[in-house]
A and B are shown apart, each in its own frame.
Chain A
Amino acid sequence: MKKTSQICQSKLPDNTALKQQQLPAYRLQLSATGVLSGFFATGAFCLGVGIILILSAKSIKEIEIKYTKICANCAELREDAINFDKECTCSIPFYLSETMQGNVYLYYKLYGFYQNLYRYILSRSNSQLVGTDLKDVGNCAPFSKSHNGTPIAPCGAIANSIFNDTIILSYNLNSSIHMEVPMLRSGITWWTDKYVKFRNPSAINLSSAFTGTAKPPYWSKPVYELDLEDTENNGFLNDDFIVWMRTAAFPTFKKLYRRLNRVQYFIEGLPAGNYSFNITYNFPVTRFKGEKSVVLSTLTWSGGSSLFLGLAYTVTGAVTWLAAFSMMAIHLMLKEKRTLFIER
């Protein structure tokens, strides 16, 4: 009791580090040598990392073939929607001068296709895709319902505009033997997409699960018949569909299409030689002045063939060094002046 009354009487503030502003604090003591060496070290580090990244990106073997112009007749055909049921194929031969070692990935790449438009991105139904409510097409405008009013599954502008060219790579061992390169169509999605965000509605079989829904207007087949060879790869769980549904951030993007199945001739990767892409051309891009290309590429530890990260590091390093040099110059000049001043 006595103690508390004493505390009440004295208004002396508490002697705590917080209240007396004596929390441990550290102030950098900046000296010219410290700053300069710091700058030089940072610059050296950035340059080093940048160069390593660039070299590693350069080590990647990559082939890209734009086929919109090559398949000009197909492109022209697809400009008119009336011809939607006319099949158009197009073969693009190319020569691989060097073996592509290791895992090889096949991508399709689109130019000028805006998957990042606000309304485009919104136009999907996650509750539908996760299989809980097929009838939920709330956000899918303008592709939510078919003409007769049945809900579209999968609904929305993203699903509707799925990339539907078929790309087959064949290896021309010689002029007579044309061998289809074995490709895997599985394992090209994000794990969370395949196992969490996309679920088929539960039913005995898929076709019955999707009764009461219509296919998206631009699709030729309903969603449960996307892969005729592998029944597991159907419905919302179709890998190509899942890949497409993960929208790209920029208007020029490539998406993983297939990966090399390393068997027989291809155990080491893609051997050098003559190849050709056999493309069933369905996806129209000329209307909006877009382009399509097909990309074959290997990977390294640093990712794909993009030089961006490496360049960013290099430029940062270079700028840092530039700054360091100019600061050193100023420092030396001032130092000279100061010594002169002192001498005087």
Chain B
Amino acid sequence: MKYIKPFISEIPWNYSWYYCAMSLFERQDGEQERYLQANNREFNTRFGYPNNTIKTSRYNVFNFLPLNLFEQFQRLANAYFLILLFLQLIPQISSLAWYTTVIPLMVVLSITAVKDAIDDMKRHQNDNHVNNRSVMVVMNGRIKEDKWMNIQVGDIIKLRNNQPVTADILLLSSSEPYSLTYIETAELDGETNLKVKQAIPVTSDLEDNLELLSAFDGKVTCESPNNKLDKFTGILTYKGKDFTLDHDKLLLRGCIIRNTDWCYGLVIYTGPDTKLMQNCGKSTFKRTHMDHLLNVLVVWIFLFLGSMCFILAIGHGIWENKKGYYFQNYLPWEEYVPSSAVSAILVFWSYFIILNTMVPISLYVSVEIIRLGNSCYINWDRKMFYAPKNSPAQARTTTLNEELGQVKYVFSDKTGTLTQNIMVFNKCSINGMFYGHVYDKKGMKVEVSEETEKVDFSYNKLADPKFSFYDKTLVEAVKKGDRWVHLFFLSLSLCHTVMSEEKVEGKLVYQAQSPDEGALVTAARNFGFVFRYRTSETIAVVEMGETKVYQLLAILDFSNVRKRMSIVVRTPEDRVMLFCKGADTILCQLLHPSCRFLRDVTMEHLDDFAVEGLRTLMVAYRELDNSFFQAWSKKHSEACLSLENREHKMSNVYEEIEKDLMLLGATAIEDKLQDGVPETVTTLNKAQIKMWVLTGDKQETAVNIAYACNIFEEEMDGMFIVEGKNNETVLQELRSARDKMKPESLLESDPVNIYLTSKPQMLRIPEEVPNGNYGLIINGCSLAYALEGNLELELVRTACMCKGVICCRMTPLQKAQVVEMVKRYKKVVTLAIGDGANDVSMIKAAHIGVGISGQEGMQAMLNSDYAFSQFHYLQRLLLVHGRWSYNRMCKFLSYFFYKNFAFTLVHFWYAFFSGFSAQTVYDTWFITFYNLVYTSLPVLGLSLFDQ
């Protein structure tokens, strides 16, 4: 959860210090190793482990005042005013009444304190909510419900499906075979795909036998709490034997149990010791350029103030020497002033007090108010409200508004951001036959429109009424009983991870983790292959009205590396079948040589699909020999149980069975563009904002979308594709692109080259102007080479000259790397916009992260700085709110410094007439309230309402 963060500029320093100090402190008296015994609270309390209470709040009732004041006085301006206050208490140099500084200081401090208090109250509430959640604990052979906060190290707890994990626990046993447990780690690392954890066999035998569980007295020796999410080493000593433990056995707090009815775990780390909490401290604060500028300005003002006081002190010394000495008849020197030099030193401090109005005490508060106001405008904007979802735009941080007006590069995800991410099964190719085009009576191809007649699915009672399809030939093929078509749809209805819900008889609702899968299963459902329900061992499919139960033998799950998933089932006819669907690039290498001809035809169709911007998948099957499968199954379970290098072994096993596949066909799913995307891109382009699309999709699809939404235009002067598979070719491709765009930039005499060679630690690459409009397309694997050291520079120079850049086949990490790269080399403000968990890294890396609350969950939104529902709101965010915020902030700063200087310099000039005696021109109350009351409103008014 993010809260309004006041005074962001100082906080990073403060808090990093704070947390460093904390962790240092902990480490010093902290444990080297952790010892614990299950079900033995007495033993475990000896080590004084914390209980499972978490505390994200910083204050309580008693320490709020001192702690908050201490934190506030770490800020430069506040500390300065505190020093001033002490100076004023010295009568010899006090030149202003004490209240002139006390009142503004009190007001500013109390505003901030109130804000902090409100924030902290929210945290308290949140903490209380979390701490009071209930969980089931195994106690003396019975299951007892207890609050989260009462969980101790060494307790054994029971978790159910979809429950969040209470603490970092060692998995003991679960309902699944081999004690596998599926978890979702979205809250920890943002990945939504399920991960598998597995208990060691000796504990998985405990199963859900409460007596055994409460008699379990294994001792665990493990490392002390740390923040490494993917590392854990420990030893379990049970029945005199040692078992090694690694992070595969550990369920971390923050994960959610999925697809597992129950599991038992031994609590290892609790509360503040959990890896989740250990990772919490260093939340990165995004600082704006403006914050940096403010701090620099304040430092300069201090210097200026010092020099002014110095000049005045010298003037005073001279004056006292020349005039004051002889004026003593009327005004004798004080006894403690033996000479004019001493007097000058005192006057230095007196002026230091008088000129205090130059240091803008209310600056930070005012900046906060303005930012808050401008954030509210974003929240209030009706033009950024998306009615179908009832969701207004949301400024989740209040500190980045003015940065919005300076954005130079926009990094956008494709799916769900540029497109709606509502997947519709649109076309398919089955056994070399193309389905999905609509022809009229004359045999001419027609565009699908509102009037086009939809296919009638009334023969199928379980059909989804929202699904629409226009090509009748496919339905006819299904009705005719075409074997290949049937097999094709059967594979679609079997090979997936979708869950079904049937609350009312006949009304199926599919819960799909990825919308693609949902679209495919829905398509199969409408054509008569209805996926009805699944258990852990079976899948029930209604095939043309006839329910068949397939025995589920194995799921070879999807991963970003494999890019395919397979399922092995035993059909009711007792055949063992493997169905596989996956990316065409991968799958076509695994096909049986006999379907080469079919492959070529299908590939042609796939190209056609891609040209239309459709997302494609290939579907294949393989009939397995029973004995072969038995042998494989053994290897598979061995690999499942292996402790070391399991993932590698598993993928090897998978590869053994996923080969010699028979091609069935390919699917094409349409992902429509969101409203107003091309217009927005054009407008942003006009505003000199460059648009990069970073997507995990394949090149053809990405390029098509890019054309569709005007990132690439037909009349562009050239298009470069970088798809080299090694350093040299990538370099070659980048260079030749640059050669075409700006030939002189390759010469050594080019000013940029000279600049770069003269400054090896170069700060930023200057802007280079190409001789036309170009586009660049770069492939994920080429990007991996390009992102390496010496090629980065080439990549940035080439890519930044292009009008649009498409990076396809990207991993989430690469997205972040690209953003980081542009940030580093160009020193401009970047914005990343995305909707899925795979965009989180990029959203966090960019100066400004924008989350689209779309189909793919809340991950992106929760990590973003701004969130809304439609891509085209970006235009309004940047060009209206951003521009206004930036303009207002600039005007505000100028105005603010102007008014303070105008006010303070009067005293400087008056010194020359008043014998440099620190006499003020204005009444003290006027000085007190000048910044706080008299002038704050016009300044704020200007900066909130100026247009």
Q: CB within 8 Å of B: which residues of A? A: 9-15, 19-21, 23, 25, 27, 81, 112-114, 116-121, 123, 142, 157, 160-161, 249-251, 284, 287-289
Could you say which of B332, B392, B919, B921 has the most chain A C-beta atoms within 10 Å of its C-beta? B919
With both chains docked as a complex, state the minimum distance between the C-beta of A100 and any C-beta of chain B, in angstroms.
31
Q: Which residue of A lies closest to B391 (CB)?
A: A11
Known contacts A9-B390, A13-B381; 5 further A-B pairs (Cβ under 8 A):
A20-B381, A114-B331, A120-B330, A249-B913, A289-B326
Please pick, from B381, B392, B945, B947, the residue contacting A11 in the complex, using a CB distance under 8 A: B392
Does residue B504 face the partner (Cβ distance < 8 Å to A)? no
* Binary contact readout B312-326 vs A (1 if CB under 8 angstroms, 0 otherwise): 000000000001101
A116 touches B380 (CB 8 A): no
A121 touches B919 (CB 8 A): yes
Q: CB within 8 Å of A: which residues of B? A: 95, 323-324, 326-327, 329-332, 334, 350, 376-377, 379-382, 385, 387, 390-392, 884, 913-915, 917-919, 921, 945-947
Q: Which residue of B lies closest to A286 (CB)?
A: B326
Pick 10 A–B contacts, CB within 8 A, sort by A. A11-B390, A13-B392, A15-B382, A21-B377, A114-B331, A117-B331, A117-B914, A118-B917, A288-B323, A289-B326
B380 touches A20 (CB 8 A): yes
Bound form: Cα–Cα A226–B432 in Å: 123
A13 touches B913 (CB 8 A): no
Bound form: Cα–Cα A15–B385 in Å: 12
Please report whether the interface of chain A is mostly helix, strand, loop or mixed according to DSSP. loop
Residues of B within 8 A of A113 (CB): 330
Q: Which residue of A lies closest to B914 (CB)?
A: A116
B915 touches A116 (CB 8 A): yes
Bound form: Cα–Cα A31–B737 in Å: 46
With both chains docked as a complex, state the minimum distance between the C-beta of B393 and any C-beta of chain A, in angstroms.
9
With both chains docked as a complex, state the minimum distance between the C-beta of B919 and any C-beta of chain A, in angstroms.
4
B95 touches A118 (CB 8 A): yes
Please report whether the interface of chain B is mostly helix, strand, loop or mixed according to DSSP. loop
Bound form: Cα–Cα A46–B235 in Å: 91
A12 touches B382 (CB 8 A): yes
Q: A12-B385, A116-B919, A118-B95 are in contact. Are A25 and B913 (CB under 8 A)?
A: no
A114 touches B380 (CB 8 A): no
Q: A114-B915, A251-B913 are in contact. Are A142 and B381 (CB under 8 A)?
A: no
Bound form: Cα–Cα A81–B329 in Å: 10
A12 touches B326 (CB 8 A): no
Bound form: Cα–Cα A251–B504 in Å: 97
A14 touches B945 (CB 8 A): no
A12 touches B392 (CB 8 A): yes
Bound form: Cα–Cα A70–B331 in Å: 27
Could you say which of B327, B390, B946 has the most chain A C-beta atoms within 10 Å of its C-beta? B327
B382 touches A288 (CB 8 A): no
Bound form: Cα–Cα A118–B917 in Å: 5
Bound form: Cα–Cα A120–B330 in Å: 9
Residues of B within 8 A of A27 (CB): 947
Q: A12-B387, A25-B945, A288-B326 are in contact. Are A117 and B915 (CB under 8 A)?
A: yes
* Total A-B Cβ pairs within 8 A: 95
Residues of A within 8 A of B919 (CB): 116-118, 121
Residues of A within 8 A of B324 (CB): 117
Residues of A within 8 A of B918 (CB): 118
Bound form: Cα–Cα A21–B334 in Å: 60
Residues of A within 8 A of B327 (CB): 114, 287-288
Residues of A within 8 A of B331 (CB): 114, 117, 119-120, 123, 142, 157, 161
Q: Which residue of A lies closest to B335 (CB)?
A: A142
Bound form: Cα–Cα A217–B95 in Å: 27
Q: Which residue of B lies closest to A79 (CB)?
A: B329
A142 touches B392 (CB 8 A): no
Residues of A within 8 A of B921 (CB): 249
Bound form: Cα–Cα A119–B93 in Å: 11
Bound form: Cα–Cα A23–B945 in Å: 8
Residues of A within 8 A of B385 (CB): 11-13
Could you say which of B324, B330, B913, B919 has the most chain A C-beta atoms within 10 Å of its C-beta? B330
With both chains docked as a complex, state the minimum distance between the C-beta of B599 and any C-beta of chain A, in angstroms.
51
With both chains docked as a complex, state the minimum distance between the C-beta of B780 and any C-beta of chain A, in angstroms.
39
With both chains docked as a complex, state the minimum distance between the C-beta of B150 and any C-beta of chain A, in angstroms.
36
Residues of B within 8 A of A21 (CB): 377, 381, 884, 947
Bound form: Cα–Cα A205–B338 in Å: 44
Bound form: Cα–Cα A119–B385 in Å: 64
Residues of A within 8 A of B947 (CB): 21, 25, 27
Bound form: Cα–Cα A12–B382 in Å: 7
Residues of B within 8 A of A288 (CB): 323, 326-327, 329-330
A114 touches B914 (CB 8 A): yes
With both chains docked as a complex, state the minimum distance between the C-beta of B370 and any C-beta of chain A, in angstroms.
14
A284 touches B329 (CB 8 A): yes
Q: A114-B323, A116-B913, A118-B914 are in contact. Are A161 and B382 (CB under 8 A)?
A: no
Q: Which residue of B lies closest to A23 (CB)?
A: B945
When A and B form their complex, which 4 residue pairs have the shortest distance between CB atoms, in order from nearest? A19-B380, A118-B917, A288-B326, A161-B330
Q: Which residue of B lies closest to A16 (CB)?
A: B380
Residues of B within 8 A of A81 (CB): 329
Bound form: Cα–Cα A81–B391 in Å: 88
Residues of A within 8 A of B915 (CB): 114, 116-117, 251
Could you say which of A20, A27, A81 has the most chain B C-beta atoms within 10 Å of its C-beta? A20
Bound form: Cα–Cα A289–B917 in Å: 19
Bound form: Cα–Cα A19–B375 in Å: 11
B330 touches A112 (CB 8 A): no
B330 touches A157 (CB 8 A): yes
With both chains docked as a complex, state the minimum distance between the C-beta of A25 and any C-beta of chain B, in angstroms.
5
With both chains docked as a complex, state the minimum distance between the C-beta of B361 and any C-beta of chain A, in angstroms.
23
Residues of A within 8 A of B376 (CB): 19
Bound form: Cα–Cα A251–B322 in Å: 15
Residues of B within 8 A of A14 (CB): 380
Bound form: Cα–Cα A291–B387 in Å: 83
Residues of A within 8 A of B914 (CB): 114, 116-118, 251
Bound form: Cα–Cα A108–B483 in Å: 122
With both chains docked as a complex, state the minimum distance between the C-beta of A168 and any C-beta of chain B, in angstroms.
25
B380 touches A13 (CB 8 A): yes
Bound form: Cα–Cα A15–B381 in Å: 9
Q: Which residue of A lies closest to B376 (CB)?
A: A19
